[in-house]
């Protein structure tokens, strides 16, 4: 190949390298200097405050409080005002005895009457209100537990998405280092080729390796944007705004460890707590139907301000008020077996919840064993990948030195370079996989606590 073509290819390769590693990264870095930067904990805190599902769950707690207030309002006095306006076209007939003891017909009443009525009632006891009192706190607990469940999912999803994005950023760093190494190799190979130390194929292989690494760098760079978009979605972050993430590798390494000897406690899982609350609510419903035969007792007071007159124009000239007070008792003697059937249905629904508990315990154990196995295997893989990376680095340094001295062929350099980048990517991936699997294990054991 003519020397001028070699120089053109060399310049083109360095242009690509400069474009992706300098223009693609340094420029974006300068533009993002003023953009807010979030750590993992800050991402989680932001998500817990802005994620739509979490805020909807918090509103449901307020709805539960309001619903309880509505259900318990029956214990308060109930006051109503009503009014009747009546005009008789024909007065009603009454039969009365006269002085002689004879039954006589007589029209009674007045043609026009108006009666505003103030009615006040006070419930003293009713099974429905008793059920509302005993179940009120359970509904609040249920709403809070559902909110905690939403928060736990947000914490886990935000953390895993953060780690996924971080893995891509780490891969970009690896590809940048690899591209820089390959560019130097190609530069050295070019001078060796010009000097007649190596043949043209060594230079071609160096150029191919540099191009492949540049393509991988470009692909990884392009995948950052959709991963940021996914993290924004999970956090509830405005899509039109931008932020960067920061991380401490040393702290990440310190957070890898987890005590795998801890026993699984089913009651720590939020799903189990929600189910137990549902069973308690169902138990209260059963008690309600069991005591639905109890009478309802209440007190009432009515004040009637009656206006009566045969002349409509003088209807409100005089009033004839009266009032009364009393007690009301309602005893459900027969309801068409509705109470018995409701009680039977409530007991069947409780049995369904019992089977739900059996199924949930099995699911929790399955989640736990799978998460534990993944964590252990990923932790083992991390140590293996770290050892491989260190060995690959030493091998690459030795082979590069041997090639520069003409001891080995360039194929050895390519192989060592490929092993190095594979081991570096494998180590980065293993590190983030361990942290991600630890999140799954903590969630499976119910160790993710939110407030």
Going from N- to C-terminal start, the domains of the chain cover 3-76+126-295+334-444, 78-124+296-330
Ramachandran assignment for 337, one of left (phi > 0), alpha (psi -120 to 50 degrees), beta (any other): left
442 — pLDDT class (breaks 50, 70, 90): very high
User: Given this model, what pLDDT does residue 105 score?
Assistant: 86
Residue 24 has pLDDT above 50, yes or no: no
Higher pLDDT, 35 or 174: 174
Average pLDDT of the residues in 237-258: 88
386 — pLDDT class (breaks 50, 70, 90): very high
198 — pLDDT class (breaks 50, 70, 90): low
Give every CB contact of residue 380 below 8 A, 6+ residues apart in sequence: none
Cβ 286 vs Cβ 349: under 8 Å: no
User: Given this model, what pLDDT does residue 8 score?
Assistant: 43
The matching CATH number, chosen from 1.10.287, 2.20.200, 3.40.50, 1.10.10, for 78-124+296-330 is 2.20.200
Residue 17 has pLDDT above 60, yes or no: no
The residue whose two tokens read 């007649």 is 196
Helix (H, G, I), strand (E, B) or coil at 248: coil
192 — pLDDT class (breaks 50, 70, 90): low
Least confidently predicted of 20-34, 262-276, 416-430: 20-34
| pLDDT tens-digit map of 346-374 | 999 999 999 999 999 999 999 999 999 99
Cβ 439 vs Cβ 160: under 8 Å: yes
> What is the distance between the alpha carbons of residues 49 and 46, in angstroms, rounded to a whole number?
5
In CATH terms, the fold of domain 3-76+126-295+334-444 is Outer membrane efflux proteins (OEP) (1.20.1600)
Angle between helices 40-50 and 224-235 (to 10 degrees): 50
Instruction: Look over the chain and give the mean of its residue pLDDT values, rounded to a whole number.
Output: 88
| pLDDT tens-digit map of 51-107 | 999 999 999 999 999 999 999 999 999 999 999 999 999 988 888 888 888 888 888
Equal CATH topology for 3-76+126-295+334-444 and 78-124+296-330: no
34 — pLDDT class (breaks 50, 70, 90): low
Residue 432 has pLDDT above 60, yes or no: yes
Higher pLDDT, 336 or 206: 336
Average pLDDT of the residues in 148-158: 96
User: Given this model, what pLDDT does residue 30 score?
Assistant: 46
pTM value is 0.83
Tokens (6 digits) for 305: 């301000």
Quick one: what percent of the chain has pLDDT higher than 90? 66
């Amino acid at each position: 190949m003519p020397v001028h073509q070699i120089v053109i290819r060399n310049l083109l390769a360095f242009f690509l390298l400069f474009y992706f590693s300098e223009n693609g990264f340094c420029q974006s870095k300068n533009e993002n200097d003023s953009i807010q930067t979030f750590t993992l904990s800050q991402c989680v805190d932001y998500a817990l405050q802005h994620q739509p599902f979490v805020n909807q769950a918090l509103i449901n707690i307020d709805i539960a409080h309001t619903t309880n207030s509505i259900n318990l309002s029956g214990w308060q006095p109930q006051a109503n005002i009503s009014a009747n306006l009546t005009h008789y076209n024909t007065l009603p007939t009454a039969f009365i005895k006269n002085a002689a003891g004879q039954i006589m017909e007589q029209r009674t009443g007045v043609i026009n009457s108006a009666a505003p009525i103030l009615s006040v009632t006070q419930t003293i006891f009713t099974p429905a209100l008793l059920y509302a009192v005993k179940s009120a706190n359970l509904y609040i607990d249920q709403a809070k537990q559902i909110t905690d469940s939403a928060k736990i999912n947000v914490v886990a999803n935000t953390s895993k998405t953060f780690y996924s994005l971080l893995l891509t950023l780490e891969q970009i760093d690896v590809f940048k280092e690899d591209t820089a190494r390959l560019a130097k190799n190609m530069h050295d190979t070019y001078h060796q080729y010009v000097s007649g130390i190596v043949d043209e194929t060594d230079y071609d292989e160096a150029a191919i390796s540099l191009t492949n690494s540049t393509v991988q760098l470009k692909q990884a760079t392009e995948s950052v944007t959709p991963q940021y978009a996914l993290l924004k979605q999970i956090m509830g972050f405005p899509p039109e705004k931008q932020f960067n993430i920061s991380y401490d590798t040393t702290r990440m390494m310190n957070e890898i460890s987890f005590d795998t000897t801890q026993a699984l406690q089913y009651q720590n899982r939020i799903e189990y707590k929600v189910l137990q609350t549902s069973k308690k609510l169902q138990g209260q419903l059963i008690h309600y139907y069991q005591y639905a035969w109890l009478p309802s007792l209440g007190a009432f007071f009515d004040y009637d301000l009656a206006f009566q007159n045969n002349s409509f124009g003088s209807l409100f000239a005089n009033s004839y008020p009266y009032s009364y007070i009393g007690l009301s008792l309602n005893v459900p003697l027969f309801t068409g077996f509705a109470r018995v059937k409701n009680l039977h249905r409530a007991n069947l629904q409780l049995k369904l919840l019992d089977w739900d508990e059996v199924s949930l315990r099995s699911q929790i154990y399955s989640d736990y064993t799978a998460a534990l196995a993944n964590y252990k295997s990923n932790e083992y893989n991390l140590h293996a990948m770290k050892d491989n990376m260190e060995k690959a680095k030493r091998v690459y340094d030795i082979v590069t030195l041997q090639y520069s001295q003409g001891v080995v062929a360039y194929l050895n350099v390519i192989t060592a370079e490929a092993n190095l980048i594979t081991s570096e990517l494998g180590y980065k991936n293993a590190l983030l996989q361990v942290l991600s699997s630890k999140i799954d294990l903590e969630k499976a054991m119910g160790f993710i606590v939110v407030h």
